[in-house]
Amino acid sequence: MAIALVLGIGGVGSVIGKKLHEWDCFEKIHLADLDPTFAEQLHKATKNSRYQVHSVNAMETAKLTEFIKTNKVDVTLNACPCLANHSILQACADGGSHYIDMAADIYSPPGKQRPTKNSFEAEIEKFDHQFRDKNLTGVLCMGMDPGAVNVFARWAMDRLDTAQSIRVLDADNAEVKGYRFAVLFNPETLFEELGAVPYYVKNGRVTSGRPLETEVEWIRFPDPIGLMKGYAVAHEEGVSLGTYPPFVAKGVNHSVFKYTLSDKVYHLAKSVSILDLDKWKKVKVDGVEVSPIRVACASLPKPAQIGPTVVEGYSCVGAEVRGTKDRKRVEYFVYAMDNHREAYEVHGYSLTEVQTGIPPALTAKFLVTNKIQERGVMMPEALEPDLFMENFSREGLKIFVEKREVERL
């Protein structure tokens, strides 16, 4: 029996906590946040609850380390904004807990200048040896995208002899009724990503482009989503999949993450970026220091507050891998697809939150049951994919595989 700690109990953190509670391998689940309101709600709504609720500041590394040690935490799941990653990673390394998060900072870590590195690389460089020395595992960016899509790409790559490109494609035609604007995941993350320089791999080199002006194209997704306009956006897997040595050895020289946007979201994101409202660095306003991005999103509804009756539409998130098998050209598109309203009815949370929360929860289960043997700090493509692919759908993440072969007649 294991003990888990979930840090950051918003929509995704609540999904993670609820999922962990379904499995008997966890005897106790600590739910922690600066504001424990949603954690208390989950605790009170759960029959025979094994939750314990705490108010914790994830940026106070020493106190978090002591919490992990005192409560004998086996695995820590970080659902906080990614600025807390280094603090929580250090606390896990010092406290003796496995670690899982859902995203990395797309900028340089606070206090360090690493202009040639994405932050997941900096986290691996700083913490890998610490985790290995203590026989611990840290899995970075294990949400939906990045996360499950990295596993999809690895699964497809394992079935090819050679490969040329990996594209992660994210489409959503959801409409949220009753709000002038609403986002189904953290709006701060959305605007930060859309306003950031998109990094991707082209011709075997990490390349940068202009926000919302790079590799723009119309992409056809499975029905009922259909044709949508996609943009290269700053995402960890856009770089990691194209630089992962085993993939490069098979011939991959192009990787990119593409996100589809409506015209409304495109123009709103452009405006937020022009006004520098997509930044975390604090500015002084009337004698008070505030983060512009926090102010820009302060009045938006929290994803956990958006109910099932106001969201319509579908989400499709997947990895497209092109290569060869037995000298035939082969293309895999491995994707998760579901309906927003149905996800609410089944899980009680938005589809975006469910898709993001299931992969880290499942990873935690595999870690505490010793089904994941890898040690150190790594991206999801370093994990054996079959175990995940066999369990995603049965745990609520519906997976589909399209395979196309080209043969000369």
Cα four-point dihedral sign 362, 400, 407, 201 = negative
Strand order, beta sheet including 2-7: 51-55, 26-33, 2-7, 75-78, 98-101, 137-139, 376-378
pLDDT at res. 111:
46
Cα four-point dihedral sign 49, 89, 119, 123 = negative
DSSP for residue 217 = E
Rounded Cα distance, 72 and 66, in Å: 10
Domain pair 2-143+356-389 / 148-352+397-406, same fold: no
Class at the top of the CATH hierarchy for domain 2-143+356-389: alpha beta
The DSSP string of 58-82 is TT-HHHHHHHHHHTT-SEEEE-S-G
> Whose structure tokens read 């992962």?
244
Buried/exposed code over 367-376 (b: 16+ C-beta within 10 A; e: otherwise): bbeeebeebb
What are the boundaries of each domain within the chain? 2-143+356-389, 148-352+397-406
pLDDT at res. 106:
65
Pairing of strands 175-176, 376-378: unpaired
In DSSP terms, 353 is beta-bridged to none
On whether the pTM is more than 0.85, the answer is yes
Which among 227, 202, 228, 225 is positioned nearest to 214, based on CA atoms?
A: 202
pLDDT at res. 307:
67
Class at the top of the CATH hierarchy for domain 148-352+397-406: alpha beta
Rounded Cα distance, 118 and 408, in Å: 41
Position 48, amino acid: N
Contact 26, 368 (CB under 8 A): yes
DSSP for residue 380 = G
Under DSSP, is residue 278 helix (H, G, I), strand (E, B) or coil? coil
The alpha-helical segments, DSSP class H, found in 9-118 are 11-21, 37-45, 61-70, 85-95
Token code pair at residue 45: 């709504």
Position 8, amino acid: G
C-beta neighbour count of 132 within 10 angstroms:
14
Which among 94, 250, 97 is positioned nearest to 166, based on CA atoms?
A: 250
Under DSSP, is residue 276 helix (H, G, I), strand (E, B) or coil? coil
Q: What's the burial of 28, exposed, middle or buried (CB within 10 Å: 0-12/13-18/19+)?
A: middle
Under DSSP, is residue 312 helix (H, G, I), strand (E, B) or coil? strand
Which among 349, 16, 336 is positioned nearest to 172, based on CA atoms?
A: 336
The DSSP string of 337-369 is EEEHHHHHHHHSS-HHHHHHHHHHHHHHHHHHT
Angle at 271 between CA 231 and CA 114, to 5 degrees: 65
Residue-level pLDDT, tens digit, the chain, 409 residues:
999 999 999 889 999 999 999 999 999 999 999 999 999 999 999 999 999 999 999 999 999 999 999 999 999 999 998 889 999 999 999 999 999 999 987 644 344 455 445 589 889 999 999 999 999 999 999 999 999 999 999 999 999 999 999 999 999 998 888 888 888 777 888 888 898 889 899 999 988 899 999 999 999 999 999 999 999 998 999 999 999 999 999 999 999 999 999 999 999 999 998 998 888 889 999 999 999 999 889 888 877 677 666 788 999 999 999 999 999 999 999 999 999 989 888 888 889 889 999 999 999 999 999 999 999 999 999 999 999 999 999 999 999 999 999 887 7
pLDDT at res. 108:
41
Give the HSE-up count for residue 61: Cα atoms under 13 Å, Cβ half-sphere.
12
Q: Where are the beta strands (DSSP E) in 326-398?
A: 328-339, 376-378
